[in-house]
């Protein structure tokens, strides 16, 4: 039993030695086949994009036209590819046949036939508008595809019964692409400007993930809150980038971490103030008037019957003779009647007066809280060893001063800046080895 078992291992090397020529032939055949395949692949023409984002009807018409012209093509996910050296020829041939022709205002060029109703004409025109707007929006770099839906009600002859138009835009973005607020606003205004009586707040933009990119009600509480949060985020990012860009040349890339919290006053206030300075008085004008009056002597004597008697008859004087009073005392008494004196003065003073009108807009910075973490200084010796050195107190104070100046530190405002020196944890990241490109990627092959 043991002799048979020892004979089996001795037969295996002999059997393998017999198969060695066969294995060599198989290897040579595989190498020849691979070489032939690579040669054929390298000689095959390279394909370039002819048209992309095509509808099925457009793709079918284009492939049929390319078959008639004898131009090879490939169709991949709504895109038609042709050999690179025949792209211009294919485009000129398709343009001569009016392709691609489906959708957009090209539908209006076709003869609708006899007896088409006004409703169908309006529907075709609206569909053409939607298609043209979708193509325009899809030409943006972050947008892969777009669809536009318009809701244009039939207007009434009565002004009170008029209803506003509305629109919705669906966007298919490229993987990893994102639209900022400015680009969304541009799409909204593009659609609103293309439709009569369509306001921007009646345009809704949604992406393929179901996120609402636009706010239909710009003045709503939710929209205002989103704008306030966006403003605070941009201010914080701006301050953080200032700190990192300032300290990176001094400490090295990746050795500074900064976080900023900004308290923003979002309420707007208006104030009107009028102040007077009573201490500073200046006479602007002065007016003085004096009035003196004397009245005639009144009746005198004891009241009674004698005083009520008529005077005695007089004597006629010759011409040129002045009459003389009988008693001088009575004449002086008559001449000296009552005297009234009135004096009046008016002075107008100019008082210091200050009128101030102040309007404080929303978005005022109330307080800043800045936190900065700095890694230790690292030096590499000749033998490859790394030595960490923490920052001295003087260096840390200089960095703190730079951070305060970078963010506009204001102690009266209650700002706070904290700078901490702490060693960062070193992650052992394995760098993958970059393999050489395959031979078929070599442009010389």
pLDDT at 7 over 50: no
One of 3.30.1330.20, 3.90.79.10, 3.30.300.30, 3.30.9.10 is the CATH number of 118-216, namely 3.30.300.30
Domain 218-274+347-425 fold: GMP Synthetase; Chain A, domain 3 (3.30.300)
The domain ranges of the chain are 47-97, 118-216, 218-274+347-425
What would the mean pLDDT of 336-356 be, rounded to a whole number?
Answer: 78
* Angle (nearest 5°) at CA 66 between 64 and 67: 65
pLDDT band of residue 8 (cuts 50, 70, 90) is very low
Q: Which of 54-63, 382-391, 433-442 has the lowest mean pLDDT?
A: 433-442
The CA distances from residue 172 to 148, 208, 212, 215, in Å, are 12, 5, 13, 19
Q: Which residues contact 445 (CB under 8 A, 6 or more apart)?
A: 38, 42, 439
pLDDT at 171 over 90: yes
What would the mean pLDDT of 104-115 be, rounded to a whole number?
Answer: 58
> Model pTM greater than 0.75?
no
Structure tokens at 334: 């008559």
Could you tell me which residue, 219 or 259, shows the higher pLDDT?
Answer: 259
Q: Percentage of the chain with pLDDT > 70?
A: 72
Instruction: Report pLDDT for 1.
Output: 46
Cis link prior to 3 (omega < 30° from 0)?
no
Evaluate whether 108 touches 125 at the Cβ level (below 8 Å).
Answer: yes
Q: Which of 76-85, 134-143, 180-189 has the lowest mean pLDDT?
A: 76-85
What would the mean pLDDT of 2-12 be, rounded to a whole number?
Answer: 49
What would the mean pLDDT of 67-91 be, rounded to a whole number?
Answer: 84
Q: pLDDT tens-digit profile of 383-403? A: 878 788 888 999 999 999 999
Instruction: Report pLDDT for 238.
Output: 93
Segment holding 243, helix H or strand E? helix 221-251
What would the mean pLDDT of 168-195 be, rounded to a whole number?
Answer: 89
From the centroid of its chain, how far is CA 374?
33
The DSSP call for residue 197 is: T
Evaluate whether 166 touches 74 at the Cβ level (below 8 Å).
Answer: no
Q: pLDDT tens-digit profile of 202-243? A: 899 999 888 888 875 655 666 677 777 888 888 999 999 999
**Average pLDDT across the chain, whole number:** 78
Instruction: Report pLDDT for 5.
Output: 47
Q: pLDDT tens-digit profile of 289-309? A: 888 776 655 555 566 666 566
Other C-beta atoms lying within 10 Å of the C-beta of residue 126: 15
Judge if 118-216 and 218-274+347-425 fold alike in CATH terms. Answer: yes
Could you tell me which residue, 342 or 217, shows the higher pLDDT?
Answer: 342
Instruction: Report pLDDT for 101.
Output: 60
Share in percent of the chain as helix, strand, coil (round to 5): 40, 25, 35
Q: Which residues contact 407 (CB under 8 A, 6 or more apart)?
A: 239, 242, 243, 260, 368, 370, 415, 417
Instruction: Report pLDDT for 415.
Output: 93
The CA distances from residue 11 to 2, 5, 21, 23, 113, in Å, are 15, 11, 18, 19, 89
Instruction: Report pLDDT for 44.
Output: 59
Instruction: Report pLDDT for 2.
Output: 47
């Amino acid at each position: 039993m043991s002799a048979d078992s020892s004979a089996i291992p001795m037969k295996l090397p002999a059997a393998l030695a017999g198969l060695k020529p066969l294995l060599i032939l198989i290897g040579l055949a595989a190498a020849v086949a691979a070489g032939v395949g690579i040669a054929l692949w390298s000689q095959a023409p390279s394909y370039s994009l002819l048209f992309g984002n095509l509808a099925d009807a457009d793709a079918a018409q284009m492939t049929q036209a390319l078959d008639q012209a004898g131009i090879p093509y490939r169709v991949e996910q709504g895109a038609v590819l042709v050999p690179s050296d025949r792209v211009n020829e294919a485009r000129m041939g398709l343009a001569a046949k009016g392709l691609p022709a489906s959708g957009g205002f090209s539908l209006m060029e076709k003869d609708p036939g006899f007896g088409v109703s006004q409703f169908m004409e309006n529907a075709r025109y609206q569909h053409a508008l939607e298609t043209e707007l979708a193509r325009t929006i899809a030409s943006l770099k972050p947008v892969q595809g777009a669809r536009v839906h318009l809701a244009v009600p039939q207007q009434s002859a009565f002004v009170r019964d008029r209803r506003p138009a509305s629109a919705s835009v669906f966007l298919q973005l490229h993987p990893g692409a994102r639209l900022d607020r400015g680009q969304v606003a541009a799409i909204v205004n593009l659609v609103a400007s293309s439709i009569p009586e369509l306001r921007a707040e009646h345009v809704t933009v949604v992406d393929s993930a179901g996120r609402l990119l636009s706010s239909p009600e710009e003045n709503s509480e939710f929209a205002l809150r989103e704008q306030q949060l966006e403003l605070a985020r941009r201010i914080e990012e701006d301050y953080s980038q200032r700190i990192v860009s300032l300290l990176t040349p001094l400490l090295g890339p990746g050795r500074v971490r900064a976080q900023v919290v900004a308290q923003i006053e979002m309420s707007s206030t208006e104030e009107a103030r009028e102040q007077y300075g009573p201490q500073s008085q200046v006479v602007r004008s002065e007016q003085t008037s004096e009035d003196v009056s004397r009245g005639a002597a009144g009746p005198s004597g004891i009241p009674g019957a004698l005083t009520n008697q008529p005077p005695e008859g007089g004597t006629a004087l010759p011409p040129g003779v002045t009459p003389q009073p009988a008693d001088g005392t009575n004449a002086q008494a008559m001449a000296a009647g009552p005297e009234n004196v009135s004096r009046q003065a008016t002075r107008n003073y100019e008082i210091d007066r200050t009128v101030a009108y102040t309007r404080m807009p929303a978005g005022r910075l109330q307080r800043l809280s800045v936190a900065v973490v700095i890694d230790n200084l690292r030096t590499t010796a000749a033998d490859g060893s790394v030595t960490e050195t923490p920052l001295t107190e003087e260096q840390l104070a200089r960095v703190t001063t730079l951070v305060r100046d970078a963010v506009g530190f204001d102690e009266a405002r209650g700002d706070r800046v904290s700078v901490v020196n702490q060693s960062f944890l070193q992650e052992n990241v394995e760098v993958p080895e970059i393999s050489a490109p395959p031979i078929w990627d070599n442009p010389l092959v």
